[in-house]
Copies of this chain bind each other. A is one copy, B any other.
Amino acid sequence: MTEFAAYQSEIYLQGLSGVVPPFTTDPAGLAASARELLGPGPYWYVAGAAGSGATDRANRAAFDDWRIVPRMLTDATTRHLGVTVLGTEMPAPVLLAPIGVQSILHPDGELATARAAAELGVPFVLSTAASHTIEEVAEAAGDGARWFQLYWPDDPDVCVSLLSRARAAGYGVLVVTLDAWTLAWRPHDLDRAYLPFLRGVGTAIPFSDPAFRAGLDRAPEDDLPVAISRWVRLFTGTDRSWDRLDFLREHWDGPIVLKGIQHVDDARKAVDAGVSGIVVSNHGGRQVDGAVASLDVLPDIADAVGDHVEVLFDSGVRTGADVVKALALGAKAVLIGRPFAYGLAHDGQVGVRHVLRGLLADFDLTLGLSGHRSPAELSRDALRRAGAGGSGAW
């Protein structure tokens, strides 16, 4: 019995006393269950996607295009799931993706998430658009591993200030999101004119920032509209270029990861730019409607960069099998997003923990039952294309 699979036993054993899990263990059922709990604004802010939702659907369908080929009698009783990515040890190749404004899901927001992650040793990535400050979340996380996600503000002083705060608060890796420099056309939110930031939700980090406040005549708490307006101007609408990455490297002495890579040439540019990692991601289908499924480009990108940078993956991961597939196609670890957000919505820290334990148990069991003892054993040989033709490789 591994540490992760233990959650399965725990559930079954509790059943003997008539206790069932706090909410569903079915990754496909989490959204439906969260939808019943949340108002349409918050629910769709998380569940919704850009435009017609085509990218979101493509992300999921892409996993179905690959199939695991289980191997037998490999003595997979004992498994070691831990990996180290950019100096961060993690008990399994899974991180919590940076999701903003988590307080719309639960009053404890990122604090609950950080605590649940720390309980399990799973690293989380704090979003620039969090509902709590860098420091508050660090305190909640305690010894838990944490990375910091940057929406790159259009003011060098604010940027430097955020980076130094994150570093000081123990965030070990900087994740720079490239694919969301302006918000996409999101009908679910537009139809409800629902954008939490405009009401001052998800602004804790800049509003608490000395450099940001220095640019205001009055403190945000005294003139919210002006602070929001400045925040929106700084954080959205401005794309960057490759040569400006130097600035970040100058002000961040740890590993830098670029999030949102979807083209092999951009992956190669990332290598040339000297960053330490990339996240192959389409922002969970929330930015470019009609974009390529993230998993569909992962193999080519992983081939292209080889060992020159660490390749992480997100967009569409829901199940243990998804994790196995992404790793087999070249990812060192994956980020999960909506599933833990739905857990948060259900019951704060307890809810996040339930979802995480379920996903890790599912991954552990799927890895083992497919005949592998560690993530390192996974390669493209573990998979086959779906359909009667299969891979043709045999």
A residues lining the B interface (CB < 8 Å): 1, 5, 8, 11-16, 19-21, 24-29, 50-54, 58, 62-77, 178-185, 187-195, 198-199, 237-242, 244-245, 258, 260-266, 269, 282, 287-293, 295-297, 300, 304, 318-322, 324-325, 358, 361-362, 365-366, 368-370, 384-388, 390, 394
Nearest to A261 among chain B residues (CB) is B72
A183 contact set on B, CB distance < 8 A: 8, 365
A193 touching B14, Cβ below 8 Å: yes
Chain B residues within 8 Å of A264, by CB: 394
Whether B185 and A366, one on each chain, are in contact in the complex, defined by CB atoms closer than 8 angstroms, is yes
B369 touches A179 (CB 8 A): yes
With contact pairs A52-B27, A70-B291 given, residues A362 and B319 touching in the complex (Cβ less than 8 Å) = no
A252 to chain B, nearest CB (A): 17
- Of the candidates B50, B65, B73, B362, which one forms a contact with A388 in the assembled complex, judged by CB atoms under 8 Å apart? B65
Inter-chain contact B12/A320, CB cutoff 8 Å = no
CB atoms of B66 and A52 under 8 A apart: no
Point out the residues of chain B lying under 8 angstroms from A64, CB to CB.
54, 58
List B contacts of A262 (CB < 8 A).
69-72
Whether A67 contacts B193 by the Cβ 8 Å rule is no
Which residue of chain B has the shortest Cβ distance to A243 in the bound complex? B73
In the complex, which of the residues B244, B319, B369 contacts A287, with contact meaning CB atoms closer than 8 Å?
Answer: B369
Tell me the minimal C-beta distance from A313 to chain B in angstroms.
15
Residues of B within 8 A of A29 (CB): 187, 191
Can you name 11 A-B pairs with beta carbons within 8 Å? Answer: A16-B199, A51-B320, A51-B366, A72-B179, A72-B262, A73-B239, A75-B240, A77-B181, A185-B365, A287-B369, A289-B320
Contact A290 B319 (CB under 8 A): yes
Instruction: Report whether A366 and B26 are in contact in the complex, using a CB–CB cutoff of 8 Å.
Output: no
B289 contacts A193, C-beta separation under 8 Å? no
* B390 engages A300 (CB within 8 Å): yes
B288 A366 Cβ-Cβ under 8 A: yes
Q: How many angstroms from the CA of A73 to the CA of B181 in the assembled complex?
A: 10
Tell me the nearest residue of chain B to A184, going by C-beta.
B365
**Across the interface, do B21 and A290 meet the contact criterion of CB distance under 8 Å?**
no
Q: Is the CB of A185 within 8 A of B54?
A: no
Leading 9 A-B pairs by shortest Cβ distance: A15-B193, A290-B321, A26-B187, A67-B292, A185-B362, A65-B388, A72-B178, A25-B190, A75-B241
Q: Which residue from chain B places its CB closest to the CB of A282 in the assembled complex? A: B70
- What is the CB-to-nearest-CB distance from A210 to chain B, in angstroms, rounded to a whole number? 27
What's the nearest-Cβ distance from chain B to residue A261, in Å?
6
Closest residue of chain B to A292, judged by CB? B67
Q: Compute how far the CA of A318 lies from the CA of B28 in the bound complex, rounded to whole angstroms.
A: 25
Instruction: Establish whether residues B288 and A321, one from each chain, have CB atoms under 8 Å apart when the complex forms.
Output: yes
Known: A51-B321, A293-B67. A184 touches B263 (CB 8 A): no
Given A185-B365, A289-B320, A296-B384, 12 more pairs with CB closer than 8 A: A15-B198, A21-B193, A25-B187, A27-B52, A68-B291, A69-B263, A70-B287, A70-B291, A71-B263, A73-B241, A74-B241, A185-B362
